[in-house]
């Protein structure tokens, strides 16, 4: 396929998968359960943090986190006691455990008390064409308070050559608003045009088969290469193609 044929093909797949039906089997359903901005962004952040592995397990464990927080994420973050944190004991999703979750509660409180919330931290270091520096600075802010050394691995840093798939997916959820109802689009201070595709094994493999990605590793260099191609197809909303690449890989075995 030539460039136009690839774009037309992917545009069709975006229309196929970027629909409300997508929510039923995707972790994005967790933040959709809330209506207040802070609840949505905290629920989304925690869900995206554990979004690797089996999707049903991700959704089940994200539900457990919400239940442990009394299904009031922002209220829990701002008002938890030591006893409340002890109630998190026993939580585990793969390598993310209760110690990690307890620190995340403490760091989120610090972000809302001292940095005006998640949106403000991410918006502060955006550039005209990328969120990668912003993500790196977000990690620095997130771990500015005392923390377990092991926990820092759960937030990726693009400036250390990570594709930062989960954070880029989270940003898509929070920022992208195309009226289809899948992404939540509650953050208005960051343009969709500078978002990056959540690059994982599925989207990466499909992109390589379509010859819009040549680099073999799914790292920051591969992400930049893929972003460049996707922005040529749609400069204003390049990450809409995540639906096409992911859908082709997961649902069609492309």
DSSP assignment of the chain equals: --HHHHHHHHHHHHHHHSSGGGGGGSGGGTGGG--SHHHHHHHHHHHHHT--S-HHHHHHHHHHHHHHTTT-HHHHHHH--HHHHHTTTT-EETTEEHHHHHHHHHHHHHHHHHSS-HHHHHHHT--SS-SHHHHHHHHHHHTSS---GGGGGGS--GGGTB--HHHHHHHHHHH---SSSSS-----SS-GGG------HHHHHHHHHTTS---SS-BHHHHHHHHHHHHHH-SS-GGGHHHHHHHHHHTS--
**From first to last of its 254 residues, what are the pLDDT tens digits of the chain?**
899 999 999 999 999 999 999 999 999 999 999 999 999 999 999 999 999 989 999 999 999 999 999 999 999 999 999 999 999 999 999 999 999 999 999 999 999 999 999 999 999 999 999 999 999 999 999 999 999 999 999 999 999 999 999 999 999 999 999 889 999 999 999 999 999 999 999 999 999 999 999 999 999 999 999 999 999 999 999 999 999 999 999 999 88
Q: Residue 137's pLDDT is what?
A: 98
Domain ranges of the chain: 3-252
Q: Residue 253's pLDDT is what?
A: 86
- Statement: the pTM of the whole predicted model exceeds 0.75: yes
Q: Residue 1's pLDDT is what?
A: 85
Phi, psi of 51 (to 5 degrees): -85, 65
Question: What is the C-alpha to C-alpha distance for residues 119 and 12, in angstroms, rounded to an integer?
Answer: 32
């Amino acid at each position: 396929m030539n460039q136009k044929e690839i774009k037309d093909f992917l545009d069709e797949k975006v229309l196929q998968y970027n629909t409300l039906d997508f929510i039923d089997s995707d972790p994005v359903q967790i933040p959709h359960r809330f209506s207040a901005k802070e609840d949505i962004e905290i629920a989304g952040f925690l869900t995206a943090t554990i979004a690797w592995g089996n999707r049903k397990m991700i959704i089940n464990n994200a539900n457990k986190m919400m239940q442990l927080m009394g299904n009031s994420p922002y209220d829990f973050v701002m008002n938890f006691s030591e006893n409340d944190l002890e109630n998190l004991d026993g939580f585990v999703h793969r390598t993310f455990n209760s110690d990690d979750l307890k620190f995340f509660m403490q760091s989120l409180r610090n972000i809302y008390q001292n940095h005006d919330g998640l949106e403000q931290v991410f918006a502060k270091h955006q550039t005209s064409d990328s969120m990668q520096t912003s993500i790196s600075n977000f990690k620095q802010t997130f771990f500015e308070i005392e923390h377990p050394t092991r926990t820092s691995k759960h937030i990726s840093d693009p400036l250390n050559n990570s594709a930062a798939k989960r954070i880029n997916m989270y940003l898509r959820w929070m920022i992208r608003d195309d009226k289809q109802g899948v992404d939540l689009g509650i953050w208005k201070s960051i343009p969709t045009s500078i978002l990056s595709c959540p690059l994982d094994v599925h989207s990466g493999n499909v992109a390589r088969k379509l010859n819009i990605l040549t680099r073999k590793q799914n790292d920051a260099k591969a992400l930049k290469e893929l972003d460049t191609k996707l922005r040529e197809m749609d400069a204003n909303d390049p990450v809409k193609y995540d639906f096409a690449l992911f859908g082709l890989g997961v649902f069609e075995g492309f």
